[in-house]
């Protein structure tokens, strides 16, 4: 091969590699980003929510001054006023606060993530105003303006023994959420709260479930559901995941190392749900949402 031919061949191979690289980059832009830092245990069972799942009550919270869209869920109670002009959602306190306690503003609930059906949030009560410090109370209940004519879960305070009884009778545990700051809505199933043992995160803290439902950032605020043959209950809201940076997808669950956590529907959390589904917002400021921290003033 002459020097000229060798030069042409090298140039051809360089342009070929460049074309392949550009094609791969273009293809990558068309693909969804691969989630990172997920606490996924063994086989990843996250999947799309379908109409057959009857989870139209799940959605996201969108606020004006952040791109974060945490998960939330509509909820009701047997005593809810049938003539009310509001609905109630459950989520986490860090849907409305930064870890340092600064507030997001002008928030709405988007059922199923649909921005065309956005419902303004008019009142919020949280378990803490500093979720970075009081994450064990990282729950929130919010009043939204407007009605959503669908079946909704009811709150239920249960411990692990009661959950196992429900499972033995045909009950299922499900978690709803979404990956990162992207839709669509997803669910994880074949999972649920796990027994704590000495050395476990949250050992002795009855406010928190350790669970093995697969999740990633964006699933915060998602309802941990108990679905029985006749009813659907919200038993907790998804809150945090331990060691997501060092945990590798497919590792087995170990609640001393990598549990996901959910704040139980209990005590103040349950009382606020019951009160707001019946009474709605006690106060509302002009053109903004009122927010109250139950830890400071339970009667606000």
Residue-wise DSSP of 135-146:
GGG--EEEEEES
Residue 29: its pLDDT value, please?
Answer: 28
Contact 61, 221 (CB under 8 A): yes
- Tens digit of each residue's pLDDT (9 = 90 or more) over 205-247: 788 898 888 877 788 999 999 999 999 999 999 987 554 545 4
- Give the closest residue to 254 by CA, choosing from 226, 206, 191, 212: 212
- Give the closest residue to 126 by CA, choosing from 285, 242, 289: 289
Are β-strands 71-75 and 58-63 bridged in parallel, bridged antiparallel, or unpaired? Answer: antiparallel
Q: From the centroid of its chain, how far is CA 228?
A: 21
Residue 139 Cα distances to 240, 258, 263, 265, angstroms: 11, 21, 7, 9
Residue 240: its pLDDT value, please?
Answer: 73
Distant-in-sequence contacts of 270-276, Cβ < 8 A, 24+ apart: 270/155, 270/157, 272/125, 272/141, 273/75, 273/77, 273/88, 273/90, 273/141, 273/155, 274/77, 274/79, 274/155, 276/88, 276/123, 276/125, 276/141, 276/143
Residue 116: its pLDDT value, please?
Answer: 97
95-104, 267-276, 282-291, range with the lowest pLDDT = 282-291
Averaged confidence pLDDT in the chain: 80
Contact 296, 137 (CB under 8 A): no
Cβ within 8 Å of residue 46, ≥6 positions away: 40, 179, 186, 187, 188, 214, 215
Mean pLDDT of 108-127: 96
Mean pLDDT of 191-216: 78
Q: Is the pLDDT of residue 159 over 90?
A: yes
Full set of structural domains in the chain with CATH:
55-152+270-293 (2.40.10.10), 154-265 (2.40.10.10)
Residue 26: its pLDDT value, please?
Answer: 30
- Tens digit of each residue's pLDDT (9 = 90 or more) over 61-100: 999 988 999 999 999 999 998 999 999 999 999 999 876 7
Q: Is the pLDDT of residue 42 over 90?
A: no
> Residues 140-173, buried b or exposed e (16+ Cβ, 10 A)?
bbbbbbeebeeebbbbbebeeeebeebeeeebbb
Confidence of residue 290 (pLDDT cuts 50, 70, 90): confident
């Amino acid at each position: 091969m002459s020097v000229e031919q060798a030069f042409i061949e090298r140039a051809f191979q360089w342009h070929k590699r460049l074309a392949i690289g550009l094609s791969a980059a273009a293809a990558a832009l068309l693909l969804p980003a691969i989630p990172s830092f997920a606490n996924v245990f063994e086989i990843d069972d996250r999947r799309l929510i379908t109409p057959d799942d009857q989870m139209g009550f799940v959605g996201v919270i969108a606020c004006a001054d952040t791109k974060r869209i945490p998960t939330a869920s509509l909820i009701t109670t047997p005593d809810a006023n049938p003539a009310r002009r509001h609905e109630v959602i459950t989520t986490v306190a860090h849907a409305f606060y930064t870890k340092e306690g600064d507030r997001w503003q002008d928030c709405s609930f988007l059922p199923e993530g649909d921005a065309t059906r956005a419902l303004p949030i008019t009142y919020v009560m949280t378990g803490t105003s500093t979720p970075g410090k009081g994450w064990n109370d990282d729950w929130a209940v919010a009043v939204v303006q407007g009605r959503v004519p669908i079946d909704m879960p009811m709150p239920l305070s249960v411990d692990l023994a009661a959950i196992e009884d429900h499972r033995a009778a045909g009950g299922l545990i499900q978690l709803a959420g979404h990956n990162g700051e992207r839709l669509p809505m997803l669910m994880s199933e074949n999972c649920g709260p796990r027994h704590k043992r000495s050395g476990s995160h949250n050992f002795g803290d009855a406010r928190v479930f350790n669970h093995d439902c697969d999740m990633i950032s964006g699933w915060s605020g998602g309802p941990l559901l108990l679905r029985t043959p006749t009813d659907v209950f919200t038993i907790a809201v998804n809150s945090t995941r331990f060691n997501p940076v060092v945990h590798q997808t497919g590792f087995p669950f170990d609640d001393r190392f990598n549990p996901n956590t959910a704040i139980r529907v209990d005590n103040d959390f349950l009382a606020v749900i019951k009160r707001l589904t019946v009474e709605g917002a006690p106060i509302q400021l002009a053109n903004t949402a009122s927010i109250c921290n139950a830890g400071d003033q339970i009667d606000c």
